[in-house]
C-alpha cells in the first residue's frame, strides 16, 4: 500500500522525467537538422520548404542563434495562438474536436475539484474510522482522506450523496452544451466544405449475382431503374489484394536498390555485393545493384500479368461498387434508405472519402463479414478476461511482499527507504503501462480482420474494444485483484458478515494505484509524446542511408497522426477515474486536472506542427465519447450505491436510486436530439448545397470530377512506373488522350478541391541509372490508353490507366 511519501517520490520522479523530456524537446526542435521531425505539417502544407538556418556549413545542422536557447519554452504560448477556426482550416475538424475533449475535462473537473476538496476532504478526515481499523487493514494517510474514513451510519453521507447529484448535474450540463456545440460544428463543417467525391458517392455491398450478367451490369441496371433521375455512374470493386502485395514487395526491392546505388556513389571504386539467398545470409555472391535491378524487372513483368488477370477475370470483380449521383440530395436519399425488399441485399452506406477507404476489406464477401465479426467478438471477450491474469501477476509482484517472496536476496535493497518508495509509488503504474503498450496494435489488427471498409471505422471499433479492455482490466481488474491480494488475510480471519464491509472500505484504497498510473501515463507519457524520440531516430537513419531525392526526404518525415484507437480510450479512462473518485477519494482530482491541462497543451502543439491526419471523419467519434462519459457517471453512481450499503447508511442510500434513472433519461434525450447529425445527412442541407452549386457553376462536369475519385491507389501507381500497356478485351474502349498519365489535366480532382493531400502512391522510382534496354520496356507509345467502363456507356464514363 503506497503511502503519502511514496506518492511524493513517484510525483518527483515523473515530474523530473517530464521536465527532462520537455527540455530535450525544446533543445532538439530548434536545431535545423531536426526541422522536418518537429515541423512536418508545415512542409506538407507548403508553409515551409527548408529549415531556418545560418549561412555557414555548421548552421545547416546546429542552431547558432544563442538567443533562441534562452527562449526554448516559447513553443508553449505559440501553441495557444492559433484559434479553433484556424485549427479546423489547418488540420481538420477531427483534430479540433479532439482538442475539445481536453477542454471538456477541464470544464468538468475544474469546478468539481474545488468543491470536492473544500467540502469533502474536511468531512472525510474528521471521520476517523480507519484509525480504529488500522490493525485489521493496510491503510495509508491518503486512505484517511477518502469516504472510507467516515463512520458507518453517519449523517455525513448526505453530503456525499448531495455532491454526487451536484457533480452529475454539472457533468450532464457540460456534456449537453458540448454535444450541441460539436453537432453544430459538424453541420457547419459539412456545409462549408468544397465539392468532394464522397458527397456524391455511396458504397453498395452485397450486390446479388444475376446469371449471364456481370456485377457492373447489375449495378448499372438496378440504379438506372430505381434512381433514374439522379444516378450518374459507378465503379466496380476489384480484388487486387495479391497485386497490392506485389507492389509492396517491389517497394522494398526499390529501397534496397536505392541504398546500394547510394553506397556505390559514395565509394565508386567498389561496387556493393551480397549473397542472393534468404536475407543475404547464404547463396551465391552477386553484384547488389544488378541483382536488385533484375529482381525489379522480373517483378514488373509479374505486376503487368497480374493486372491483366485482375481486369480480365470476372471473379476479380467483387459484389460491391461505388455508385455516384448527380447531386448530394440523390446520394443522401440512396445512402439513408433501404434499397431492396430483401434487407440483406443492396446494402448502401455513405462512401468514405477516398483516402479513408481500406481497399483490402472491400474484397471480403458479405457472408464472411458476419462470421468474422462473431469470431472477433469471441476473441476480444477471451482477450479481455485472460489478459487479467498477467496484469494481476505483475501488480502482485509490484507489491513489496510479492517481490521479497520471488527474490528474497533483494530484501536488503527493498528495505532502503527511497527504493521502497520507488517500488510502491512508481513501479505499479509503470508495469501496467508496459503491459498495455502492444494492445492497441493487436486490437487494430482484429478490427481490420472484422472487415470494415473505412480506416476511420476500423479505428473507432478498435477504440471501443480498447475502452472495454481498460474498463474491465485496468479499472475493475485493478480493484478486484488488488482487494483479493491485499485483504486476503482479513477475509480469512473475520466473520462472513463483515466481508462486504471490508470490500466497501477497500475499493477507495485503490486510488493510490491510480495516482501512480496517472503520473506515469498522463504526465511523463504525454511529455514523451512531444519528444518524438522514435520518429527522430528513424528519420535520421533514413536520411543518412536511404534518402536520395527530395521526395524520399518527405516520405522519411513520417508526421503520424492522432492515434485515436489509443488516445480516446485512455482519455475516457481519465474521465471514469475522475467521476468515480470525485466523491470517493477527491484527492485524486488534482492529478487528473494536471493531465488534462498538460495534454491539451502538448496535443495542440502536435496538431499544429506535426500531425497530418490520414482521413477526415468530421468528428464522427463524438457520440462514442459522449456515451462513455455517461457510462462513467452510471458506474460512479452504482459504485457509490454499493459502497454506502456497506456503511449501513440505510436512510441515505435510497436517495441515490433515482440518479441512474435520471442519467439514462438524459442520455436518451441527447441521443435523439444530437446523434442524427452524426449518422445522417439532412436532405435540406443537401438540397441547399446543390442549388447553390448549380447557381455558381452551371456548366460543371460532375462526371469528369468523379471519374477517378475511387480508383484503387495501385492503379495510380501503374501510371507512375509506366509499365507496358495492358490491353483488356472485355468491357473496354479506346479514347484519345494527350496526358502522359492517362488523366485529363483540366479536370479537377478531389485532392485539388481540398486542403488534404491525396492518398500516397504505393511506389515510384527513377530509371536514369538503368541501361538503355531496360528503359525501353517502360516507354509508353503515343497511342490511346486502355480504359474500362465507369458505369454508363457514354464515352465520358470510362476509367483510364
pLDDT in tens, 615-633: 999 999 999 999 999 999 9
Over residues 75-83, the mean pLDDT reads 89
Report the pLDDT value the prediction gives residue 369, as an integer from 0 to 100: 87
Give the residue with greater pLDDT, 257 vs 277. Answer: 257
Same domain, 278 and 228: yes
Give 596's pLDDT tier (boundaries 50, 70, 90). very high
Contact 22, 68 (CB under 8 A): no
Calculate ∠ Cα 596-601-602, nearest 5°.
Answer: 100
Look at residue 406 and tell me if it is in a domain. yes
Query: Helix axis angle, 564-584 relative to 439-450, nearest 10°?
Result: 120
Residue whose entry in the numeric block shows the C-alpha cell 496494435: 441
The model's confidence at residue 75, banded by pLDDT at 50, 70 and 90, is confident
What pLDDT shows up at residue 404?
62
Per-residue pLDDT of 419-474, as tens digits, reads 666 666 666 767 777 778 888 999 999 999 999 999 999 999 999 999 999 888 88
* 139 and 208 both lie in a single domain: no
Q: Does the residue 516 lie in any domain?
A: yes
For residues 550-577, average pLDDT: 87
Beta-bridge partner residues of 454 = 357
pLDDT for res 543 = 83
- pLDDT value of residue 787: 32
Same domain for 322 and 377, yes or no, is no
Summarised one tens digit per residue, pLDDT across range 337-376 is: 999 998 888 999 999 998 899 988 887 877 888 899 999 9
Do 153 and 223 reside in the same domain of the chain? no
Domain range for 485 is: 4-194+367-685
> Which H or E run contains 351?
none
**What confidence category does residue 398 fall into, taking pLDDT thresholds of 50, 70 and 90?**
low
Residues 6+ apart with CB under 8 A from 460: 564, 620, 621, 624
* Cβ-Cβ contacts under 8 Å for 342 (sequence gap 6 or more): 208
Regarding whether 270 and 187 lie in a shared domain, the answer is no
Residues 6 or more apart whose CB falls under 8 angstroms from that of 581 comprise 508, 511, 514, 588, 589
Would the pLDDT of 225 be above 90? Answer: yes
Please indicate, yes or no, if residue 497 is contained in any of the structural domains.
yes
- Is 548 within the bounds of a domain? yes
pLDDT tens sequence across 125-175: 876 555 444 444 455 667 778 887 788 778 888 899 999 999 999 999 999
Sheet hosting strand 785-789, strand order edge to edge: 732-735, 785-789, 798-800
Question: Are 222 and 136 members of one domain?
Answer: no
Give the cell for residue 694.
448549380
Mean pLDDT lowest among 332-346, 522-536, 767-781: 767-781
The whole-number average pLDDT for the span 90-97 is 94
The answer on 210 and 158 residing in a single domain is: no
User: How many domains are there within the chain?
Assistant: 2
Separation in Å, CA 495 to CA 136, 149, 481, 502, 642: 13, 21, 21, 11, 20
Last residue of a domain, one of 685, 717, 734: 685
Q: Give the whole-number percent of the chain exceeding pLDDT 70.
A: 75
Query: Are 541 and 480 in the same domain?
Result: yes
How many Å apart are CA 606 and CA 611, to the nearest integer? 6
Determine, yes or no, domain membership for 296.
yes
Give the residue from 685, 711, 726 where a domain finishes: 685
Confidence of residue 323 (pLDDT cuts 50, 70, 90): very high
Q: Is the predicted pLDDT of residue 99 greater than 60, yes or no? A: yes
- Which of the four pLDDT bands, split at 50, 70 and 90, describes residue 720? very low
Report percent pLDDT > 90 for the chain: 32
Residue 554 is predicted with a pLDDT of 78
Domain end residue (candidates: 352, 387, 411): 352
Per-residue pLDDT at 719 exceeds 50: no
Query: 455 and 614 in contact (C-beta within 8 Å)?
Result: yes
Q: What is the DSSP string of 587-642?
A: GGHHHHHHHHHHHHHHHHHHHHHT---S---SSTTHHHHHHHHHHHHHHHHHHHHH
Same domain for 294 and 174, yes or no, is: no
Considering the domain architecture, whether residues 343 and 417 belong to the same structural domain is answered as no
Residues 89 and 178 in one domain: yes
Query: Looking at residues 243-257, what average pLDDT do you find?
Result: 85
What is the per-residue pLDDT across 654-702, written as a single tens digit (0 to 9) for each?
Answer: 888 899 999 999 999 999 999 999 988 889 989 999 999 889 888 888 8
The most confident of the ranges 94-103, 307-316, 554-563 is 94-103
The rounded distance, in Å, linking the Cα atoms of 503 and 520 is 27
Radius of gyration of the chain (CA): 31
The reply to whether 295 falls in a domain is yes
Q: How far is CA 576 from CA 445, 514, 522, 572, 675, in A?
A: 26, 11, 14, 6, 22
Phi, psi of 785 (to 5 degrees): -85, 155
Q: Across the chain, how many H-helices and E-strands are there? A: 38, 9
In this structure, is residue 758 part of a structural domain? no
In angstroms, the CA 523 to CA 72 distance is 20
* pLDDT for res 786: 32
Cβ-Cβ contacts under 8 Å for 639 (sequence gap 6 or more): 507, 580, 584
CA distances from 153 to 94, 129, 171, 652 (A): 49, 12, 28, 9
The single residue listed with the C-alpha cell 475519385 is 709
Taking alpha carbons only, the member of 709, 759, 605, 772 closest to residue 325 is: 709
Is residue 555 within a helix (H) or strand (E), and if so which, with residue range? Answer: helix 550-557
Query: For residue 740, is it within any domain?
Result: no
pLDDT at 789: 34
The most distant pair of C-alpha atoms in the chain lies apart, rounded to whole Å, by: 94
pLDDT of residue 396: 62
Give all strands (DSSP E) within 706-783, no chain letters: 732-735
Residues 213 and 173 in one domain: no
Average of pLDDT values for 503-523? Answer: 78
Determine the pLDDT at residue 541. 86
Separation between Cα atoms, residue 801 and residue 743, nearest integer Å: 8
Query: Can you say whether residue 277 is alpha, beta or left, with left for phi > 0 and alpha for psi between -120 and 50 degrees?
Result: beta
CB of 703 closer than 8 Å to CB of 796? yes
Selection from 173, 120, 190, 174 nearest residue 148 by Cα: 120
Average pLDDT over residues 9-14: 82
Give the ranges where 29-156 is alpha helix by DSSP (H).
35-38, 40-45, 67-70, 75-79, 84-91, 93-125, 129-133
More confident call, 449 vs 260 = 449
User: Strand 273-275 to strand 785-789: parallel, antiparallel, or no bridges (unpaired)?
Assistant: unpaired
d(CA 2, CA 12): 15
Mean pLDDT estimate for the chain: 78
Residue 90: which pLDDT band, with cuts at 50, 70 and 90?
A: very high
pLDDT computed for residue 716 by the predictor: 62
Amino acid at each position: 500500500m503506497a503511502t503519502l511519501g511514496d506518492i511524493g517520490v513517484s510525483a518527483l520522479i515523473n515530474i523530473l522525467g517530464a521536465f527532462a523530456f520537455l527540455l530535450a524537446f525544446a533543445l532538439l526542435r530548434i536545431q535545423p537538422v531536426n526541422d522536418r521531425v518537429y515541423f512536418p505539417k508545415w512542409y506538407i502544407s507548403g508553409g515551409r520548404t527548408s529549415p531556418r538556418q545560418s549561412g555557414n556549413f555548421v548552421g545547416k545542422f546546429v542552431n547558432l542563434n544563442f538567443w533562441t536557447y534562452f527562449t526554448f519554452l516559447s513553443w508553449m504560448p505559440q501553441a495557444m495562438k492559433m484559434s479553433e477556426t484556424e485549427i479546423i482550416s489547418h488540420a481538420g475538424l477531427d483534430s479540433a474536436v479532439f482538442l475539445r475533449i481536453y477542454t471538456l475535462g477541464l470544464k468538468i473537473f475544474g469546478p468539481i475539484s474545488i468543491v470536492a476538496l473544500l467540502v469533502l476532504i474536511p468531512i472525510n478526515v474528521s471521520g476517523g474510522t480507519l484509525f480504529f481499523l488500522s490493525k485489521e487493514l493496510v491503510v495509508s494517510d491518503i486512505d484517511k482522506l477518502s469516504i472510507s474514513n467516515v463512520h458507518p451510519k453517519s449523517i455525513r453521507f448526505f453530503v456525499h450523496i448531495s455532491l454526487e447529484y451536484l457533480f452529475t448535474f454539472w457533468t450532464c450540463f457540460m456534456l449537453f452544451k458540448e454535444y450541441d456545440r460539436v453537432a453544430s460544428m459538424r453541420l457547419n463543417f459539412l456545409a462549408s466544405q468544397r465539392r468532394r467525391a464522397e458527397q456524391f458517392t455511396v458504397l453498395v455491398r452485397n450486390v446479388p449475382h444475376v446469371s449471364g450478367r456481370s456485377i457492373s451490369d447489375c449495378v448499372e441496371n438496378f440504379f438506372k431503374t430505381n434512381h433514374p433521375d439522379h444516378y450518374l455512374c459507378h465503379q466496380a470493386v476489384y480484388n487486387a489484394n495479391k497485386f497490392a502485395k506485389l507492389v509492396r514487395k517491389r517497394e522494398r526491392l526499390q529501397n534496397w536498390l536505392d541504398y546500394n546505388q547510394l553506397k556505390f556513389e559514395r565509394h565508386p571504386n567498389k561496387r556493393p555485393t551480397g549473397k542472393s539467398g534468404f536475407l543475404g545470409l547464404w547463396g551465391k555472391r552477386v553484384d547488389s545493384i544488378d541483382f536488385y535491378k533484375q529482381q525489379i524487372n522480373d517483378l514488373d513483368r509479374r505486376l503487368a500479368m497480374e493486372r491483366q488477370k485482375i481486369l480480365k477475370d470476372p471473379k476479380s470483380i467483387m459484389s460491391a461498387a461505388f455508385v455516384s449521383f448527380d447531386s448530394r440530395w440523390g446520394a443522401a436519399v440512396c445512402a439513408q434508405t433501404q434499397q431492396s425488399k430483401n434487407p440483406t441485399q443492396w446494402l448502401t452506406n455513405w462512401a468514405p472519402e477516398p483516402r479513408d477507404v481500406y481497399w483490402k476489406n472491400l474484397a471480403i464477401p458479405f457472408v464472411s463479414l458476419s462470421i468474422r465479426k462473431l469470431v472477433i467478438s469471441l476473441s476480444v471477450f477471451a482477450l479481455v478476461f485472460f489478459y487479467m491474469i498477467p496484469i494481476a501477476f505483475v501488480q502482485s509482484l509490484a507489491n513489496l511482499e510479492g517481490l521479497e517472496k520471488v527474490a528474497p536476496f533483494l530484501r536488503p535493497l527493498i528495505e532502503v527507504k527511497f527504493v521502497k518508495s520507488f517500488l510502491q509509488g512508481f513501479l505499479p503504474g509503470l508495469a501496467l503501462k508496459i503491459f498495455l503498450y502492444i494492445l492497441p496494435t493487436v486490437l487494430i489488427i482484429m478490427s481490420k480482420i472484422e472487415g470494415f471498409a473505412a480506416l476511420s471505422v476500423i479505428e473507432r471499433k478498435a477504440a471501443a474494444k480498447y475502452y472495454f479492455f481498460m474498463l474491465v482490466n485496468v479499472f475493475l481488474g485493478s480493484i478486484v485483484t488488488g482487494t483479493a491480494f491485499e485483504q486476503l488475510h482479513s477475509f480469512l480471519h473475520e466473520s462472513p458478515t463483515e466481508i462486504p464491509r471490508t470490500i466497501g472500505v477497500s475499493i477507495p484504497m485503490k486510488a493510490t494505484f491510480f495516482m501512480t498510473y496517472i503520473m506515469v501515463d498522463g504526465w511523463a507519457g504525454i511529455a514523451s509524446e512531444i519528444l518524438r524520440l522514435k520518429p527522430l531516430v528513424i528519420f535520421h537513419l533514413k536520411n543518412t542511408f536511404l534518402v536520395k531525392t527530395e521526395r524520399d526526404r518527405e516520405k522519411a518525415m513520417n508526421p503520424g497522426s492522432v492515434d485515436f484507437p489509443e488516445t480516446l480510450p485512455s482519455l475516457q479512462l481519465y474521465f471514469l477515474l475522475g467521476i468515480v473518485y470525485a466523491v470517493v477519494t477527491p484527492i485524486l482530482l488534482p492529478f487528473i486536472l494536471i493531465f488534462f491541462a498538460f495534454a491539451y497543451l502538448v496535443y495542440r502543439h502536435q496538431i499544429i506542427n506535426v500531425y497530418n491526419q490520414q482521413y477526415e471523419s468530421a468528428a464522427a467519434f463524438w457520440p462514442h465519447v459522449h456515451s462513455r462519459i455517461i457510462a462513467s457517471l452510471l458506474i460512479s453512481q452504482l459504485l457509490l450505491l454499493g459502497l454506502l450499503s456497506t456503511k449501513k447508511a440505510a436512510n441515505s442510500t435510497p436517495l441515490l436510486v433515482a440518479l441512474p434513472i435520471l442519467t439514462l433519461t438524459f442520455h436518451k434525450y441527447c441521443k435523439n436530439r444530437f446523434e442524427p447529425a452524426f449518422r445522417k445527412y439532412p436532405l435540406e442541407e443537401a438540397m441547399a448545397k446543390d442549388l447553390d452549386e448549380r447557381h455558381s457553376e452551371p456548366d460543371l462536369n460532375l462526371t469528369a470530377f468523379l471519374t477517378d475519385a475511387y480508383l484503387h491507389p495501385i492503379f495510380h501507381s501503374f501510371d507512375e512506373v509506366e509499365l507496358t500497356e495492358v490491353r483488356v478485351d472485355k468491357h473496354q474502349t479506346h479514347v484519345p488522350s494527350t496526358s502522359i498519365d492517362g488523366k485529363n489535366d483540366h479536370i479537377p480532382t478531389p485532392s485539388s478541391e481540398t486542403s488534404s493531400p491525396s492518398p500516397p502512391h504505393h511506389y515510384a522510382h527513377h530509371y536514369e541509372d538503368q541501361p538503355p534496354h531496360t528503359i525501353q520496356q517502360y516507354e509508353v507509345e503515343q497511342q490511346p490508353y486502355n480504359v474500362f467502363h465507369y458505369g454508363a456507356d457514354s464515352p465520358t464514363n470510362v476509367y483510364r490507366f
